[in-house]
Amino acid sequence: MSGPQEEAVLGKAYDVALMRRLWPFIKPHWKLLAAWALFMPLTIAFELAQPALFRYALTEHILRGDIGALPLDATVYMALVLAQGGSGFCEIWFLQLAGQRTMHALRIAIFDHVLAQRAAFFDNIPVGRLMTRMTNDIESLNEMFAQGAITLISDFLKMVGIVVIMFLIDPAMTLLTFTTLPLLIVLVEYARRLMRASFRQIRVRLAAMNAFAQEHLSGIKVVQLLGRASTASKEYDEINAGHRDAYLGQIRADSAMYAIVEAIGSVSVAAVIWYASGHRIETIEMIGIVVVFIEYTNKFFIPVRDLSAKYAVMQGAMAASERIFQLLDTKEWDGGEPRERAVDKKPAVAGAPALDLRGVHFSYGAEPILRGVDLRVPQGATVAIVGATGSGKSTVIKLLTRLYERDRGAIELDGVDLRDLPLDDLRERITVVSQDVILFAGTLADNIALGKPYTRAQLDEAVERVGLHRALERRRADVTEKVAERGANFSAGERQLVAFARAILRDPELLILDEATAHVDPEAEELIERGVAELMRGDRPGHEHKKRTTLVIAHRLSTIRDADLIVVMDRGQVVESGTHDELVARGGMYAALERTFRRHDGP
């Protein structure tokens, strides 16, 4: 994948390798393409038969005064027109249906691939760029079916058919008609080069515009509150102006192509008339030839005139397909360890600690974040991790859930290395509740269940256990309450309660609370603490009296002091560990942090 500030753009309008990559998505719909291939030549035949029929009616009936046969000629002509329309409808229907089904499968493949990536993937690729891949680039490929490569096949066959028919009628006039083709080829090549350079800039500017808009809309509160709106508007105007100007080359090429091809077509028609004027123009047969040649010449130059637009579509489709397949080929993990192993679910090791970190090292870039972390969490224990901002607390959580992969060291869950556990199994056994709660548009029930098949009774019970039912009662609502985009109609405390309800339903072996009470008021915190106490008790079948293993990151003293073990981190290392009383008595870093916690919590 290219760097975040660049857009790789394909230089060809057609690439066999990329079409081969696209074929697995097209192949399931081969019957639709076969139907299209059946109707396409029929449509061409019905269209090309019309000038021939008109010539026949002109030379055999109209110019010979046989008016009585004209109704039959008109009937046959209308039948050809209707047949062309019906066949053309079927041709477009089958082609577009195949295209839409192909794009549907490709969208699903891209979305599934992106969802499967770990956090480092999203650190390297802007969300705006991903949105461009999943929307604009897919639509560019879709246009290829509508008016790109496949319609070029139809145009090519039609042009070949026209040349063959004209050659059979009068070879000399046909050669004269197409003496302008060398000029046409030069024109097409010039337009192709101009559009390729223009299209490169168009795609770069479009991706930059999407990324800029996504970034500023996501941070709209900061933009508005800190008065950045005017600056952002000016910056967006510059990017947008660049995108507008990038189209000038394509517009220039398209305009020149249309105008010059139209002129060349007119010259060809004039050549036909000039040639006929010196070759028995007075004969009925020559009049018919001139008429039919003018008709076929016009039909020949129509697809040529539209070639620039179709070339732009093909250029865009190939560039889009290259970027799409680069995205599908991109994996977040590029280190020495495999991204995922195909392993069976391994049983826990008897007597092993719930969680065991040994010599864990990690860095997001050049600067190390964790420097040999050692942490042993016994079964059923509550362990609190404390430390200053940037000490590595949250990074430990990301490694435990494999949002990121450790650089060195070992991390084991119940005696089994995390990399030897299927990722889905790992995340079923570990639930993280953080201070940043994301809600999705839908119902509250949808946001609590998150796709799991929980019953209404289970949802209501979870809501009641965390105290969310009180907030709903004040609203005179229940779990069917609608949730606005990003949960805008719920307070920060209520969103936190939703996160706890999710955790209670998932009933994990290892519960991780990452600053989970940071945004709740004292009343909500009291409710949450009661719910957490129930959650930590453990109520899985066969484990009703077994305390759940809990890992807590918090700045509130009330959340930390009752932990079985407190681990103090500083600059990516564990510097102290023990109970609250032990660490306070030592007078070290925890004692200093404890005084900070007291000031934070208040008297």
The residue assigned the tokens 């969802």 is 115
Q: Which pLDDT tens digit goes with each residue over 178-194?
A: 888 788 778 777 777 77
- Per residue, the 3-state secondary structure of 61-91, as one string, reads HHCCCCHHHHHHHHHHHHHHHHHHHHHHHHH
Mention every residue, 6+ apart, whose C-beta is less than 8 A from residue 555. 386, 515, 518, 597, 600
| Residue 246 CA neighbour count, 13 Å, CB half | 20
Do the domains 355-601 and 16-329 match in fold?
A: no
Give CATH for domain 16-329.
1.20.1560.10
E strand or H helix at 230, and its extent?
Answer: helix 229-277
pLDDT, average across residues 241-259: 80
Q: Are 95 and 328 in contact (CB under 8 A)?
A: no
How far is residue 390's CA from residue 569's CA, in Å, rounded to a whole number? Answer: 10
Q: Which pLDDT tens digit goes with each residue over 165-221?
A: 999 988 888 888 888 878 877 877 777 777 777 777 777 787 788 778 878 887 887
Every domain of the chain and the residues it spans: 16-329, 355-601
pLDDT of 292 higher than 50 = yes
Q: Which pLDDT tens digit goes with each residue over 514-525?
A: 876 655 566 656
Strand partners, 356: 376, 412
Q: Are 321 and 20 in contact (CB under 8 A)?
A: no
pLDDT, average across residues 105-110: 90
In this predicted structure, what is the pLDDT of residue 599?
Answer: 58
The two three-digit tokens of residue 336, written as one number: 């020495």
φ and ψ at residue 124, rounded to 5 degrees: -95, -20
Give CATH for domain 355-601.
3.40.50.300
In this predicted structure, what is the pLDDT of residue 339?
Answer: 44
Residue 156 to residues 32, 34, 258, 353: CA-CA distances in angstroms?
Answer: 21, 18, 18, 71
In this predicted structure, what is the pLDDT of residue 115?
Answer: 83
In this predicted structure, what is the pLDDT of residue 81?
Answer: 94
Question: Quick check: helix, strand or coil at residue 144?
Answer: helix
Count H helices and E strands in the chain, helices first: 23, 12
Q: Are 118 and 332 in contact (CB under 8 A)?
A: yes
DSSP state of 27: G
The two three-digit tokens of residue 379, written as one number: 């079964």
Q: Which pLDDT tens digit goes with each residue over 368-386?
A: 889 999 999 998 888 999 8
How far is residue 554's CA from residue 566's CA, in Å, rounded to a whole number? Answer: 11
Q: Which pLDDT tens digit goes with each residue over 445-481?
A: 998 998 888 889 989 988 888 778 888 888 888 888 8
The two three-digit tokens of residue 438, written as one number: 């994301």
The two three-digit tokens of residue 481, written as one number: 């309450």
188: left (phi over 0), alpha (psi -120 to 50) or beta: alpha
How far is residue 440's CA from residue 482's CA, in Å, rounded to a whole number? Answer: 10
E strand or H helix at 435, and its extent?
Answer: none
In this predicted structure, what is the pLDDT of residue 375?
Answer: 92
